[in-house]
Amino acid sequence: MPLLLLMQNHRPFAQLALTRFLIFFGFILSGILHAAPTELVEEAPVSVTRLGPNVVLVDFGRVTFGNLKILPPSGAGGPLAVHFGEAFADGRINRIPPGTVRYAKVDVTLAGPTQIVAPAPDKRNTTAPAVLTPVEWGTILPFRWVEVEGWPGELKNDQIVRRSAYASGWPATAASFHSADDVLDRIWILGRDSIKATTFAGVFVDGDRERIPYEADAYLNQLSFYACNPDPAMARDTFDRLMQFPTWPTEWGPHLVFMAYADWMQTGDRKWLADRYESLKGKLLLERIGADGLIRSTPQQIERGDIVDWPVGERDGYQFTEVNTVVNAFHLRALELMARLARALERGDEAVEYERRYGATRAVFLQRLFDPASGLFRDGVGTDHSSLHANLFSLAFGLVPHEKRAEVARWLAQRGMVCSVYAAQYLLQGLFENGQDAAALALITAPGDRSWRHMLESGTTITWEAWDQHYKPNQDWNHAWGAAPVNLLPTYVLGVSPRTPGWSEVEIRPTAGALAWGEGRIPTPRGPIEIRWDRTPHFRLRVSLPAGVTARIAIPSGDDTGKVFVDGQTVPAHRDGSWWLVEPAISGSAVIELR
């Protein structure tokens, strides 16, 4: 507690420096914390091109974290200059890249049949509190291209190998996504490759600039990791590290409750949850509750902790007040999930108390922060400004009055992507869940510089920290918190999510937008779920479930008033708004049609 109090009396950058010192001190006391196993994988280049009499360009096809192994011809010697690059310009590696985009030059003297080529360590991300990679690997950095100066003779593909660091045993074919929109498919691949490439540290880090975990980054990474790989180890090790070494933003703490709940739904593992349940209570912001149950922020907390969105320019003019909507939305969502976790652990009295507190606080939240005249949430008590963020988080967390959700979702869709790649996860989630799936898909693939289409067109192969360089000049080009489509597309477009912890029962509810068809494979701890839907012309869904898994099916009704068939036989089903709910649970493989 004295250390925490000390941190509360420092300004943001001093606080961050103190946090990093405490993390470093923790490393000294406890050694390197456990991280999920990682490995180096050798990868051949996709092309080797001679640019001139003394320069060869090697392209590995996409950015990963790693270094090089070179195998010179027998008897070769002499000096080489090896340039590593994450950015490309005018047919060459960009040697003066923007922000913290990576470039490094290494001078090498050829000697022996095999040599490892790695840059000198960068103190910013290779000393504690950065998450350290094994010393025997040598320094790793993110790069796609290599230029070699001075290579003797022809450089062949098998003479230069990239050693890329990934989570061990990465399941290359565990997940897939295809649709009628090629751009959407390429965006999903960008997200998948981003998640794989950023597993190099064994925990979820925030990119290459610092290489440390942050709670919000970690939660978004967790969701997208599960969409590619069902193994919970990396998310769990990240959670444990953040419990020991938390970061500074107000809303980041409640994300650890979100992470624990996501683990529970993924695994159904009571033992893991029970061992961490008590520590989650410190992430509810209870120490900041006022007499009415709402969270208060002091001027100091507003200045340095209440983050709303990042970078600062992405806040849509948010007006900070003592009682602000975004902080309270996170508090309420954390309370709701804690009640569910308490129920899961059969702590009935605590569940009842969390539910009571949630209900009472939500009532005050609506009374003081929701404006019935505009149908929107204000940013806080004492301002009439209604930002995108006050409403997107409230919608994503189920806090908007039920009868107003469609209206708020329409307003958010009209405002567009006036938030960061971090907040986009929650914005799109709210749109998909409230009838604005076509708008959500349009935002993902929109023209302009605030979409994943823009990242594709830039040529990046890992998602960025921000939408573009001018929104965050020091941004990383390897930030997996920007990979939201890799979890959103299977969850909403394919429509697959767990109904019960551990995936014994799933819900399949495709939100098709304007797409004509979609298909894919969703990894689960029980095996893959394979799904395809199309409109030919009525909605038809094919699903294959692992053994021991049942599904509750909802299919879009459109203007159809026909019947629902499973494998050619009519089954009981009823309309619920714009959905047909299939009454019998489905197991094995089946074809569900609306005729």
511-536 core/surface letters (b: 16 or more CB in 10 A; e: else): bbbebeebbbbbbbbbebbbbbbbee
Residue 560, pLDDT score: 61
Q: Residue 392 and residue 308: Cα distance in Å, rounded?
A: 11
Residue 562, pLDDT score: 82
Contacts made by residues 287-296, CB under 8 angstroms, sequence distance 24+:
290/323, 292/364, 292/368, 293/357, 293/360, 293/361, 293/364, 294/323, 294/328, 294/361, 294/364, 294/365, 294/368, 295/323, 295/327, 295/328, 295/331, 296/322, 296/323
Residue 557, pLDDT score: 87
Residue 33, pLDDT score: 63
Q: Residue 243 and residue 237: Cα distance in Å, rounded?
A: 10
Strand (E) or helix (H) holding 328:
helix 325-344
Place of tokens 């799933």: 506
Residue 561, pLDDT score: 67
Which residue positions in the chain have pLDDT lower than 70? 1-33, 559-561
Residue 75, pLDDT score: 80
Residue 262, pLDDT score: 98
Tokens coding 43: 């990868």
> What is the set of domains in the chain, with CATH numbers?
38-167 (2.60.120.260), 496-594 (2.60.420.10)
Residue 111, pLDDT score: 85
Tokens coding 559: 């203007």
Are 212 and 205 in contact, with CB atoms under 8 Å apart? Answer: yes
